């Protein structure tokens, strides 16, 4: 009965709407919260996430910044250290590299270098991933790079609920949290319970239970992986789909529980294969669950090329459902 009530009260919205609502709610709830970034005001954001927020909340809370990622990320760090709760929006993960010094050498290290006297309660949001034909300077998945850095948390919301609920949780963290929003999810629609609240940012989720092979993924690749699992089910292969959600820290317990059950694993990661997050997850499985495995660990990653502009090449360069199906079958010794 309770489930029916929640379902009746659920509202339908896009992933983009969910992120906008999370920002709006956070700003209204806490006087310390503000958003700063490029084109987030009158333009409404490169992906229309912040459309209408400037008129509603004013320029003190929605702050358009010059084209200087290092500058306004540094300003966000300073504001966080001074007691504010800034949300910094970086237009794309590729452009975040212009603020890498601020993120790696300042935000992630202040607590350590100050002997725990200062923290940086900062949230940085950025678009990641390919699929919109915006070519090699706007399309890569570099969240695995950031997951390498101690001193920060890295999350990748793949659902409507996570897109809305992770932001408030991240704003309560005493240290920097980076949120990676896959560009192909912004138009995705789904239901959100009217009473939906904050969401954990350090736990993986089993999105589809299964017994034959564990498909481990995150972000934009989740829905391709679920599509692959549906195709496998038609061939009597029950794949368990794990949504990592948190890339740093990784939820080893959920991963190992799944692998211990299925005895096979395939990791789907839109990052490049060499030095990828998939490699880290695979090595952790070897370290912690090697004797549970009945087959080598598989990986489906992006091709080792800059993301191409032509649509057919872009699609070929990143993980797709047929590649995931093939990798799962290979783990099971089936063609």
Which active-site residues does the annotation give? 69, 138
| Helix 15-29 and helix 160-171, axial crossing angle in degrees, nearest 10 | 30
- Overall size of the chain counted in residues: 335
Could you tell me if 239 and 265 are in contact, meaning their C-beta atoms sit under 8 angstroms apart? no
Question: What separation in angstroms does the CA of 85 have from each of 77, 123, 326?
Answer: 9, 8, 45
Could you tell me if 29 and 23 are in contact, meaning their C-beta atoms sit under 8 angstroms apart? no
Q: What is the DSSP string of 225-257?
A: HHHHHHHHHTTT--EEEEE--EEES--HHHHHH
Burial 92-118 (b: 16+ CB within 10 A, else e): bbbbbbebbebbbebbbbbbeeeeeee
């Amino acid at each position: 009965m309770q489930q029916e009530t929640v379902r009746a009260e659920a509202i339908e919205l896009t992933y983009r709407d969910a992120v906008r609502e999370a920002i709006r709610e956070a700003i209204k709830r806490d006087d310390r919260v503000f958003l700063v970034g490029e084109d987030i005001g009158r333009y409404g954001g490169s992906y229309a996430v912040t459309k209408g927020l400037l008129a509603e909340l004013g320029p003190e809370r929605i702050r358009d910044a010059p084209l200087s990622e290092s500058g306004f990320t540094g300003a966000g760090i300073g504001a966080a250290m001074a007691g504010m709760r800034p949300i910094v929006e970086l237009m794309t993960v590729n452009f975040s590299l212009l603020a890498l010094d601020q993120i790696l050498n300042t935000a992630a290290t202040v607590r350590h270098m100050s002997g725990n006297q200062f923290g940086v309660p900062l949230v940085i949001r950025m678009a990641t991933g390919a699929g919109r034909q915006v070519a090699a300077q706007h399309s890569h998945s570099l969240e695995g790079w950031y997951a390498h850095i101690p001193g920060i948390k890295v999350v990748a919301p793949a659902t409507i609920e996570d897109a809305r609920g992770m932001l408030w949780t991240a704003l309560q963290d005493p240290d920097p949290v980076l949120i990676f929003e896959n560009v192909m999810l912004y138009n995705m629609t789904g239901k959100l319970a009217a009473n939906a609240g904050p969401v954990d940012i350090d736990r993986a989720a089993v999105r589809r239970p299964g017994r034959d092979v564990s498909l481990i993924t995150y972000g934009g690749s989740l829905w391709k992986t679920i599509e692959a699992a549906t195709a496998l089910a038609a061939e009597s292969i029950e794949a368990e789909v794990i949504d990592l959600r948190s890339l740093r820290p990784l939820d080893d317990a959920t991963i190992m529980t799944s692998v211990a059950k299925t005895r096979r694993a395939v990791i789907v990661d839109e990052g490049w294969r060499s030095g990828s997050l998939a490699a880290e997850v695979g090595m952790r499985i070897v370290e912690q669950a090697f004797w549970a495995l009945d087959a080598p660990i598989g990986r489906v990653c992006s091709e080792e090329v800059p993301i191409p502009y032509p649509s057919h090449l872009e699609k070929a360069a990143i993980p797709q459902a047929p590649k995931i199906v093939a990798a799962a079958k290979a783990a099971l010794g089936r063609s």
